[in-house]
A and B are shown apart, each in its own frame.
Chain A
Amino acid sequence: MSSNTQTVTVGAPAEAPPGRKRQLSEGARAERRLGWMLCAPAVIVMIAVTGYPIGYAIWLSLQRYNLELPQDVKFIGLSNYAAVLSSPYWWQALKVTVVITVFSVAITLVLGMLLAMIMHRTLFGRGTVRTAALIPYGIVTVAAAYGWQYAWTPNEGYLSALFNSSAPLTSEYKAIAVIILAEIWKTTPFMGLLLLAGLSLVPEDLQKAAMVDGATGWQRFTKITLPLMKPAILVALLFRTLDSFRIFDNIFILTQGSNNTGSVSILAWDNLFNALNLGIGSAISILIFICVAIIAVLFIKGFGAAAPGTDIGRR
């Protein structure tokens, strides 16, 4: 089918009479129709699975709806939101999520930059380094999380043994540190690869010219490499921040959210599957959605991060 229409597209400019520019030529109209037809299935699936449920979640969040009391479903306006926003659990979970996001993203950025430089500059074993780095990226988060959990279990784990049989997963701050460590290990390769792509756009000549002019390595890094890499860094930061804000798997395995270590996603999940409260659970989900939207707008409008993919639209 597609090959047929390509012939139409190719032939179109010649067929269109020069005087009727305003009206779409037959070829252009066929091209439009084909474009929409090709996109339709993808659009339908994406809307059916995300757009509709989000609308439904907004509606659910305005109801009193507990699965244990199915008779007692009632419209209660914004009361669920009031309940969530006045609950210390929400603010504790938000605090934990923000702490994990800020620390893991900041450290991942620094380590990712180092990794990118190593991958960019290294003279031998380039393939080995990239292959090894991709393993944390690809590994199932839950599988890795079990590894970290056992490693930090007193009398069983090598890391716990290394730190005098400590049991970090039983105390709030240390457990959060372990969660951050697990996040960093898993996500640094992705950050490194995104930054590597940005690094390869920095022209070699510029570096050499600066070297001839007597710039030190650090000066070259801060005055040339960093400014040129700004777009790549912002995109990588945006991706990582949004991803980290959604943290769920690592916490679910490492602490189940005990000792005040639950993230907002864990809180929403608990309200649905342990408290069976669809109304409150949906309200939390919508609040998370709003937080993510705020982060994205901040990055794109505030820091001028190019929304990834906008270049595709422009071409």
Chain B
Amino acid sequence: MAAVTTTPRQKVGWGTANFVVVALALIPVLWMVSLSFKTPTAVLDPSFIPSQWTTGNYSGILQTSTFIRPLVNSIGIGLISTLISVVLASMAAYAVARLRFPGKAVLIGMSLLIAMFPLIALVTPLFNIERAIGLFNTWPGLIIPYVAFGLPLGIYTLSAFFREIPWELEKAAKIDGATPFQAFTKVIAPLAAPGMVTTAILVFLACWNDFIFAISFTSTIASRTAPASLAFLSGSSQFTVPTGPIAAAAVVITIPIIIFVLFFQRRIVAGLTSGAVKG
């Protein structure tokens, strides 16, 4: 449409705009990368590009359980929470998208309420409940709240995706002689998979990103997650500033996000906007 009447001046204009957006998005990230490669002396020099390079910050944090254990916790807790959320949310979203039953509006309303919930309002009561029933500072102590907050996001995104699936195909497959199981695995599952992958990414990112629950319901590296562990990192000796190690740890926890974004850009965009704006 617009491409027909593009003048060279317009091309330069859009090119500049694109460049500005990309630069603004990346500069703070590159600053973290730069810090993570600075030696303790170079940290005390505000230049954007390190004056002295080192990989010591990375080898330092990757050798201590102060960071490695939380990283493992983050991955484990994130994956388990995502799996449970997506399974439970798929069941509910299937019901919302395909079945007629009273209480559907209540379910949607409830998910909406929870999506808007101020997390801090739950920290105090959950802290006390978790201490009482022995969930404090354990994996399930974080997984359960993450699932609860992953569910609204999942139900939302998945019901938007499920509504788009041409379910008649299933009937057609059965008429053609497919068993119900074949109809499901060969026809419906491949159609539903993209939505479920998208949802899984969004839920995982939300769990990976959480800080407030992670610092409130954990007390040791037994269950502390990576974002919560940053504040506990120290320099190579107790007299050096922990700037380099913290920057390196921040870069490490950013890597999975960059990978997701690079490989699933389209899906993430579709997932983010599907629940909110579709009319």
Contact = CB atoms under 8 A, between A and B. Distances in A.
Interface of A: 2-4, 6-7, 9-10, 28, 31-32, 34-36, 38-39, 41-43, 45-50, 53-54, 56-57, 60, 115, 118, 121-125, 127-144, 146-148, 150-151, 155-158, 160-161, 185, 189-190, 193-194, 196-198, 201, 204, 231-232, 235-236, 239, 242, 245-246, 248-249, 252-253, 264-265, 268-269, 272-273, 278, 281-282, 285-286, 288-289, 292, 296, 307-313, 315
A45 B107 CA distance: 12
B32 A147 contact: yes
A161 B45 CA distance: 9
B119 A53 contact: no
Interface in B13-39: 14-15, 17-18, 21-22, 24-26, 28-29, 31-32, 35
B120 to A, nearest CB: 4
A135 B29 contact: yes
Candidate in A7, A143, A158 with the most chain B CB atoms within 10 angstroms: A143
B159 interface: yes
5 contacts: A39-B92, A49-B149, A56-B128, A268-B123, A292-B118
A253 B260 CA distance: 25
Contacts of A265: 118-120, 212
A248 B212 contact: yes
Contacts of B180: 3-4, 6-7
Contacts of B227: 140-143
Nearest to B126: A53
Contact of A307 (B2, B47, B112): B112
Candidate in A118, A142, A273, A310 with the most chain B CB atoms within 10 angstroms: A142
Contacts of A118: 14, 17-18, 21
Interface residues of B, number: 115
A2 B114 CA distance: 27
Contact of B118 (A139, A141, A245): A245
B120 A123 contact: no
Given A39-B92, A129-B18, A285-B124, A193 B104 contact: no
Contacts of B35: 147, 150
A41 B118 CA distance: 23
A128 to B, nearest CB: 6
Contact of B152 (A6, A46, A231, A268): A46
Contacts of A196: 273
A267 to B, nearest CB: 9
B78 to A, nearest CB: 11
B148 interface: yes
Given A193-B273, A201-B279, A296 B122 contact: no
A160 B250 contact: no
B165 interface: no
A56 B17 contact: no
A151 B28 contact: yes
